[in-house]
Structure 1
Amino acid sequence: MATNPRAGHRPRLAGEGVAFGLSFLWLGLIVAAMVVLDRRGLSISDILGLVVVALAVFLPVALIWVAVLVLKAARAMRDDAARLQSTVEGMRRAWIREQQAAGLALKPSVEEKLDEIAAAQRAAEDRMAMFTTRRNLPFTVSPNTPPEGPDDNQPTLALDNPEPAPEPVRPADFIRALNFPETEHDEEGFAALRRAMEDHGTAMLIHAAQSVLTVLAQEGIYMDDLRPDRARPEIWRAFALGARGPEVAALGGIRDRSSLALTYARMRSDPGFREAAHHFLRTFDRRFVAFEAAASDGEIAQFAETRSARAFMLLGRVTGIFG
């Protein structure tokens, strides 16, 4: 069965046809009235006067009804917009609940790897503490044993630490560790993370960042989804030197209103997360001061793109440390 290709235009053509028909009808009535009145001996001025009177009587009534129809259409459009907004908000909340349920049901493999690394580090620290604090048995000197000179081998005291201190974390490892491994097969990421965890201050920052990132993921907030405004390296350096407020306001480049609102609500309702967030901000501040002193502008720009730095921007914006 053939279809009419102009079927979709019928309402528009019908409306235009009605408008043209009413216009011609009005003009026809005016001409007919002038002809009839002219036959009765009325002049043109009298006829125009009658037309003006008719317009004065009927035009306000027509305008009132037009205004009523316009208000009715506007109210209907407002109701439709409100229903659409409610539907979108319901879909967004349902998506967030699904993300929260998925985050609670399955523990991410990256978090499991970090827990294993932390457990291994604690075990190594315990073994080192046991080694360095054990007591050495005293040596027994017999009367026939000649006294040893100062250059002879002597037992190492328990308080001595003959092993050199660990080397500072390289900026590349520091940046890679704070971005966390991409997947469970990211061998370079886990290697950088292990090297960075050997430094006590960096390990504290990694644990603090892991805590806040886990809670934010439960709220459906993922750092990879955020697109913050980039701040120049000199602004990061000013923050490391102690600048606060409007001078470093560019660091709060997170503009996602939904993420800001959810983070603010979680901090108000969850004291544990609020404490973890403040601990992360303090640890980030202290460790970044040490990193900035030896980092180039390019390394600071790379550092600003890490997941930990984005979490710092988000929480700093919520807590108001950028003014």
Structure 2
Amino acid sequence: MSLIARIATLAQRDTITATGLALGGIWLFLVALFWLLAPAGDGPAGGVARLAVIAGMILPLALIWLAVKTARAIAVLRAEAEDLRSRLIQLRDMTGTRGAPPPRAMPEPEVIGEPDPQPRTVVPAAVPPTPRPAPRAMASNRQPAMRTDDPAPVPVDSDTLIQALNFPDGPDDTLAIAALRRALQDSDHARVLRAAQDVVTLLAGQDLYMDDLSPVPASPAVWRRFADGSRGDAVARLGGIHDAAALDTATALVQRDEIFRDTAHHFLRHFDTMLTRHLPQMDDAQIAALAETRTARAFMLLGRIAGIFG
């Protein structure tokens, strides 16, 4: 039952109805008291007098229930406005992500080989005590220092990677957020996750959400064949998304939006590399869990459009 229907049902027993019944009862009591205590007239009352008496009895009751009906309508509109406001707040928080974390939930990892304006671990090596080099010399000295002094990436197990690829369901999904942050410490994982986030965000801008897709599952053996380099009909079952509306939306976006097309190709390339790197280490249950992630659904959708599944 919708929110408005629930409110309309409850309105029959709420305080507004009780107030209307009470006021109507009080008015009828006063009318009865008037008839009992009013002095008798000298002659029969005329038609105008009777009409005035009847109108005096009925009109207040009509006004009472008109006020009750108006108050019910206002209560329904107020509840609908509150529900709409809460939905807008939720959409503002999850818009463009539908389960993917907002940008602030994906901290930028340190990428080996790229200079950082304010490095924390290599400042002593980047700024020699004397003499102070020119800006260009400082930049040239800083980059080799980052290549040699950066700590090795933290190993990420398959379960953590799978949880990160599904993205957090919201700010309260602390386990997924922790897995995401851990996975981002590996530069290869960070490239895949950022590319996946970009793709999911752009698709959500077209009202196409990964949670709404229901792909036909492919067996782990098919995923392993893909990781081994098979393409075309041998891995056709990976293109298990048959939602015509989703395929049309994504195809139109690829055709008309050059930015999305480049982002999609970038994502497909890095996800392909990640599968080749990690899939041989996963068992069947982990591969099945990977296939259910939001990132894998985006891969199946865009891979089918790109024709890599035959």
TM class by shorter chain equals 0.5 to 0.7
Aligned to 2:224: 237
Aligned to 1:165: 152
**Aligned residues between the structures:** 203
1:183 deviates by: 1.6
Whether contact under 8 Å (2:165, 2:294) holds in the other structure is yes
The structure 1 residue matched to 2:103, chosen from 77, 97, 115, is: 115
The structure 2 residue matched to 1:134, chosen from 126, 132, 150, is: 126
Gaps of 5+ in 1: 1-101, 139-156
Using the alignment, how far apart are the partners of 1:183 and 1:110 within structure 2?
Answer: 13
Using the alignment, how far apart are the partners of 1:275 and 1:160 within structure 2?
Answer: 29
Q: Which has the larger radius of gyration?
A: 1
- Describe the shift of the 1:120–1:270 C-alpha distance in structure 2 as closer, same or farther (beyond 3 A): closer
- Describe the shift of the 1:210–1:297 C-alpha distance in structure 2 as closer, same or farther (beyond 3 A): same
Using the alignment, how far apart are the partners of 1:220 and 1:290 within structure 2?
Answer: 32
1:208 deviates by: 0.3
Using the alignment, how far apart are the partners of 1:236 and 1:160 within structure 2?
Answer: 35
- Describe the shift of the 1:132–1:293 C-alpha distance in structure 2 as closer, same or farther (beyond 3 A): farther
Q: Residue 152 of structure 2 aligns to a residue in which SS?
A: coil
The question of 1:198 aligning with 2:172 is answered: no
The structure 2 residue matched to 1:189, chosen from 163, 166, 176, is: 176
Deviations 1:116-144 (A, max 9, x none): 25555359965157437425559xxxxxx
Matches within 5 A, 1:23-34: none
Aligned to 2:255: 268
Aligned to 2:92: 106
- Describe the shift of the 1:241–1:267 C-alpha distance in structure 2 as closer, same or farther (beyond 3 A): same
Whether contact under 8 Å (2:101, 2:167) holds in the other structure is no
Using the alignment, how far apart are the partners of 2:277 and 2:242 within structure 1?
Answer: 28
The question of 1:221 aligning with 2:236 is answered: no
Identity %: 41
Whether contact under 8 Å (2:254, 2:261) holds in the other structure is yes
Aligned to 2:29: none
Q: Residue type of the partner of 1:106?
A: R
Whether contact under 8 Å (2:161, 2:179) holds in the other structure is yes
Q: Residue type of the partner of 2:200?
A: L
Whether contact under 8 Å (2:105, 2:177) holds in the other structure is no
CA RMSD of aligned residues (A): 3.0
Using the alignment, how far apart are the partners of 1:182 and 1:107 within structure 2?
Answer: 11
Q: After TM superposition, which residue ranges in structure 1, 4 or more long, deviate above 4 angstroms?
A: 109-114, 117-120, 122-126, 135-138, 157-164
Whether contact under 8 Å (1:229, 1:254) holds in the other structure is yes
| TM-score, scaled relative to structure 1 | 0.57
The structure 2 residue matched to 1:252, chosen from 228, 239, 245, is: 239
Segment of structure 1 superposing worse, 125-134 or 228-237: 125-134
- Describe the shift of the 1:122–1:115 C-alpha distance in structure 2 as closer, same or farther (beyond 3 A): farther
Using the alignment, how far apart are the partners of 1:252 and 1:204 within structure 2?
Answer: 23
| TM-score, scaled relative to structure 2 | 0.59
Gaps of 5+ in 2: 1-87, 131-143
- Describe the shift of the 1:257–1:232 C-alpha distance in structure 2 as closer, same or farther (beyond 3 A): same
1:252 deviates by: 0.1
Whether contact under 8 Å (1:109, 1:184) holds in the other structure is no
